[in-house]
Amino acid sequence: MAAVEVRTEPVDSGVALLDHVLDERSLVWTRGGDGVVGHGEAARIDAGLGPDRFARAAAELDRVWSSLRRDATDPHRLVAFGSFTFDPRSTGSVVVVPSHTVARRAGEAWRTVIGAIAAPAPARVTVLQ
């Protein structure tokens, strides 16, 4: 897998995360006003079947993370969304690394873009200088 650029930039920490939900394909995790909204797919990992599907997904996710080109001085905030079946004999366990995320935690907010695709930018987001 070739190295892929990752860019993270601060955004207005007052932004309402749910305002960034674009459609039913958006990935969302929020709690108490903090959380992440993701769009697109930089990577999709099919964890497969069996009791070792978690370990396979984790190993592949490590491979994805290591393929990303990051500036060591930039605090990239990478996330993946996972959904695993309860029955190891059932298909459908998957991990998605969004290509675009807007997130907030502990009073900070940021946007991360993986790859060269322009991030969807709702009008309410203000980039801090």
User: Which of 104, 109, 122 is CA-nearest to residue 32?
Assistant: 104
Quick one: pLDDT at residue 115?
Answer: 82
Quick one: pLDDT at residue 4?
Answer: 79
Quick one: pLDDT at residue 60?
Answer: 93
- d(Cα 8, Cα 113) in Å, to the nearest integer? 6
Phi-psi region of 50 (alpha: psi -120 to 50; beta: other; left: phi over 0): left
Quick one: pLDDT at residue 13?
Answer: 85
User: Which of 33, 5, 6 is CA-nearest to residue 18?
Assistant: 33
The first and second tokens of residue 109, run together, are 């907010």
Residues of the chain scoring pLDDT < 50: 1, 117-129
Quick one: pLDDT at residue 74?
Answer: 61
- d(Cα 95, Cα 58) in Å, to the nearest integer? 9
Alpha helices in the chain (DSSP H): 53-66
> Is the pTM here over 0.85, yes or no?
no
